[in-house]
Every structure is written in C-alpha cells, then in structure tokens.
C-alpha cells in the first residue's frame, strides 16, 4: 500500500484498503474557522446531541475576517467563541494564533499518520507532515463533531517524483505552480498526490507545506509527503507522542495510477496568470505587467522562510510609487520571529505595510481588496475571478521572491534579474 492507503486502512480498522473502496474512518482532529464554523455550529445543534464526541480533537481558529471588519463578522466570531467555551474546545482567538493551516501544525495539532479534516479546502496542507488531511464542508464538520467519523472513497494515487536542486530565488512555490501548469486544475481530481524524490527529501517543512497546500488546486483529495527527520525536527516539542515513521512509508510495490517526473535544475520562477491556477508561464514570458498591489502572505507562503527571502530582496530598496505592498505573517509565531530577526524594519523601510497575522486579502473578504482594473501579484494560492475583490481585477500568483521583486519594479519581475535591472 502507499502511505495514503496505509493511513486510511488503519483509521478504518482494516488490514488493507483499495482505491474506489468506501471506508468509514475515525478522525483524529477536526478544524473549523470563523467562516465555516458558524454553519457547522448551527448544523451541530440541529443534530440533537449535546456534546462533541471528543473535545480534545476539535480545534476552532479565527483567521479569515480577523480582526472583525464588520458587525456581521463580529457576530460570527462571538458564535464561535461561545461554542468553544461551552464545549471546552481548543480555541485560537484574534491575536492568539493566525492562519489556521499554519497554527494547526505549529501548535501540535498535526501528527504523522493522523486523519485530519477541516472545514477549509487547504486542510490538505498537513500532508506535509505525513498526515492524511483533507477539506470538508461545514455540515460534514458538524457530523464529525457528533460522531468522530467520516466516510471516504479511497483515492487512487499519483506519484510526483521531483529531482534536482533549485536555482537561486527559485522556490517550492515555483515548483508547485509548474506542476499545476502541467497537470491542469483538474489533473488530480479525487486523487491522492504523493510527492517523492531527492528534491522533496532536501526540502524544508515550509516548502513541503507550500506543495501540499496547493494540491487541492489540481483537484486532489490530499497531498502527502512521507515523514522523515525534517518532519521530526519540526514536530518535536510541538506534537506529543510521534508514531513510528517506518510504518508510514509507501511500500516498494505500492500502486500508483501514474508517476510524473519533474527535474527542477533548469526551472526558473513561475507565475500563474489570471484567472486560473494552471495558466502558468515562466516569469520571463509574462511580458510587461504593471501591478498596483503586491501581497506576501497566506497559508501558502506566509512563513518565516518566505518573509526572509522577501526581506532579502527588499532590503535597502523601496517599493515603487503607485504600488502597495502588503506583508502578512501567517501566524503570531511567525510575526514574532520576523520581528526578532529585524524583518519588520526592512519591510517598513521599504514602504510596505505589515498587517496582523490572518488571511487578509487572500480571499477578498477583508483588507487589501482590489478595485476594478487593478492588478495584484500575490504569493497566495488562487487567482479566480473576483477572488481578491473586484471581478474586474487581475491576480497573478507567484513566489514571495517574485512578489517582492515585482513590488520594487512596479511590474511583474523575475527576482533573479533584479540586481541587474535595479
């Protein structure tokens, strides 16, 4: 079996499972946030049970409309605060956590081999730690609150094997954009996507999270990477009682629907052009695209490694007049680290605005929205029509390095060429 099948078999109490089989799995952790939680609470109350099945396994995080930008959002937050209190749940209020997908592993709610569901599509991010993690809806989250179980169709798997070393300023974000450009936004629909190969083995947890985060952008049920020493180093002191990682490696005769090979050695920075995540081109081929906004943040690329590379590029430079640059650390922990390392000073000196850790403009619900006719280059994960504000605005997705370079030049710019042109 491959790692996904092994996890699902264990969660369903079976020796083995096969693609296409429907299993009832025990859930190790369920997460809801401020936009999906209230519907889940409402649904949970309708089921008619008094208590969640296990209060230690339900996490509530406020991150989308944070801090509350309207009375309506404040009401939703209030609903979640009350529910968390009354059910005695782990709760991350405004200023205590950050973006759900960063907070979950950071605070030790993710462990290899777990089955984790979250009422958010990017729950697949935790595959970076060798967990089976996938997004569900609010009603289904309510059902998990009540029963601790959920049905899954065991997915067939695609293996993505990556080799080679990245060139300077080329990052895992460029790799995942390149992969999605190749496979298409429906290229892995319903599938498990397992990332393997020397590039992945040498990759930081931050990079692995970026890859698994965007697995859903090609339709995947989950993205997953076998746990190793890198995983252990990150989780030790966070998640208690780590399992034996050997049981979580795919067997040598594990079955895959197909295997796709990528070599990153000669790959340059990539950009997903409006308004589909698979509309990917090398940044050198996007032409002259002036930008009004540059956004560094989100659950895809708001980690300390992302902020460091952006700061490296912005240091001693100025964001071009007419461009607003927004930097949003993915969590309070990342914020603090960035402050200690002096990154906040670099961003501020460059003329960027640093906002509190939350989703921000990523989903166009809160701060940093776009007007009609405006263009944003963003380190987030979606460039759909209307995603960041006006339906007449354009969003280009890129790595934090490319976003930072573009902020300086006022147009989409290859970070590797910045030194020559500046």
Partner 1 sequence: MNSKIQAKTIVFGNNIDTDVILPGKYLVLVDPNELGKHALESLDTEFVQKAKDGVILVGGKNFGCGSSREQAPLALKYSGVKCVIAESFARIFFRNAINIGLPVIECRGISTAVKSGDELVVDFEAGNIENLSNGKKFHVEKLPPFIMEILADGGLIEHLRRKMK
In terms of DSSP bridges, do strands 58-61 and 90-92 run parallel, antiparallel, or are they unpaired? parallel
Residue written as token pair 């001693």: 316
| Closest distance of CB 41 from partner 1, Å | 11
Indicate the residue among 145 and 347 with the shorter CB distance to partner 1. Answer: 145
Single out the residue of 10, 77, 109, 122 in contact with ligand SF4 (rule: CB under 6 A). 122
Where does 132-171 have alpha helices with state H?
Answer: 138-147
Under the binding rule (CB under 6 A), the answer on residue 221 touching ligand SF4 is no
Instruction: Give, as ranges, the residues between 330 and 359 that touch ligand SF4 (CB under 6 A).
Output: 359
Least distance to ligand SF4 from the beta carbon of 302, Å?
A: 7
Site for partner 1 in 79-138 (CB under 8 A): 118-121, 123, 135-138
Under the binding rule (CB under 8 A), the answer on residue 242 touching partner 1 is no
Phi, psi dihedral angles at 159 (to 5 degrees): -100, 130
User: Residue 418 CB, nearest distance to partner 1 (Å)?
Assistant: 32
Q: Which does 7 bind (CB under 5 to 8 A by kind): partner 1, ligand SF4, none?
A: none
Q: Alpha-carbon distance 38 to 105, whole Å? A: 23
Q: Which residue has tokens 């710019």?
A: 413
Q: How far apart are CA 68 and CA 126, in angstroms?
A: 27
Helix ranges restricted to H, 229-303: 229-235, 298-301
Q: Is the dihedral of CA 114, 32, 332, 224 positive or negative?
A: positive
Q: 252 exposed, middle or buried (CB, 10 Å; 0-12, 13-18, 19+)?
A: exposed
Cβ proximity to ligand SF4, 101 vs 107, nearer residue: 101
Sole binder of ligand SF4 in the list 28, 106, 120, 278 (CB under 6 A): 120
Of 143 and 401, which CB lies nearer to partner 1 in the complex structure?
143
Rounded CA separation 101/200 (Å): 20
Neighbours of 226 (CB within 10 A): 18
Q: Which does residue 140 touch among ligand SF4, partner 1, none (CB within 5 to 8 A, set by kind)? A: partner 1
Q: Please name the residues in contact with 78: beta carbons below 8 A apart, sequence gap of 6 or more.
A: none
Stretch that binds ligand SF4, among 49-57, 98-106, 162-170, 185-193 (CB under 6 A): 98-106
Binding site for ligand SF4 (CB under 6 A): 64, 99-101, 120, 122, 298-299, 359, 362-363, 380-381
Binding residues for partner 1, rule: CB under 8 A, are: 22, 35-36, 38-39, 43, 46-49, 64-65, 70, 72-73, 76, 118-121, 123, 135-140, 142-143, 146-147, 151, 185-186, 189-190, 219, 221, 276, 363-365, 382, 384-387, 391
């Amino acid at each position: 079996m491959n790692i996904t099948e092994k996890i699902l078999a264990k969660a369903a109490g079976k020796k083995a499972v096969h693609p296409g089989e429907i299993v009832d799995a025990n859930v190790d952790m369920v997460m809801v946030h401020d936009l999906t939680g209230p519907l889940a609470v409402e649904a949970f109350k309708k089921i008619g049970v008094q208590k969640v099945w296990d209060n230690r396994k339900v996490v509530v995080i406020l991150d989308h409309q944070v801090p509350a930008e309207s009375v309506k959002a404040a009401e939703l937050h209030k609903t979640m605060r009350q529910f968390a209190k009354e059910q005695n749940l782990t709760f991350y209020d405004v200023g205590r956590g950050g973006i759900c997908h960063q907070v979950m592993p950071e605070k030790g709610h993710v462990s290899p081999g777990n089955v984790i569901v979250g009422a958010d599509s990017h729950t697949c991010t935790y595959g970076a730690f060798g967990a089976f993690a996938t997004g569900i809806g609010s009603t289904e989250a309510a059902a998990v609150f009540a029963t601790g179980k959920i049905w899954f169709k065991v997915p067939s798997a695609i293996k993505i094997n990556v080799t080679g070393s990245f060139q300077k300023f080329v990052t895992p974000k460029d790799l995942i954009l390149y992969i999605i450009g190749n496979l298409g936004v429906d290229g892995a629909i319903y599938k498990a996507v397992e990332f393997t190969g020397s590039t992945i083995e040498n990759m930081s947890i931050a990079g692995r999270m970026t890859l698994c985060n965007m697995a859903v952008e090609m339709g995947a049920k989950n993205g997953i990477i076998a746990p190793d020493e890198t995983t252990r180093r990150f989780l030790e002191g966070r998640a208690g009682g780590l399992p034996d990682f050997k049981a979580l490696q795919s067997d040598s005769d594990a079955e895959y629907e197909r295997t796709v090979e990528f070599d990153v050695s000669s790959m340059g920075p990539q950009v997903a052009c409006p308004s589909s995540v698979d509309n990917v081109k090398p940044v050198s081929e996007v032409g002259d695209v002036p930008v009004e906004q540059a956004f560094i943040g989100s659950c895809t690329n708001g980690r300390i490694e992302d902020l460091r590379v952006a700061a490296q590029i912005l240091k001693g430079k100025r964001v071009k007049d007419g461009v607003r640059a927004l930097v949003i650390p993915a969590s309070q922990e990342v914020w603090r680290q960035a402050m200690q390392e002096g990154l906040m000073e670099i961003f501020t000196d460059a003329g960027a605005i640093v906002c509190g850790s939350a989703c921000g403009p990523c989903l166009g619900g809160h701060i940093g929205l776009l007007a009609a006719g405006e263009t944003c280059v963003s380190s987030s994960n979606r460039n759909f029509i209307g995603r960041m504000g006006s339906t007449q605005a354009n969003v280009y997705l890129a790595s934090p390095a490319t976003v930072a370079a573009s902020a300086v030049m006022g147009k989409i710019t290859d970070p590797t060429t910045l030194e020559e042109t500046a």
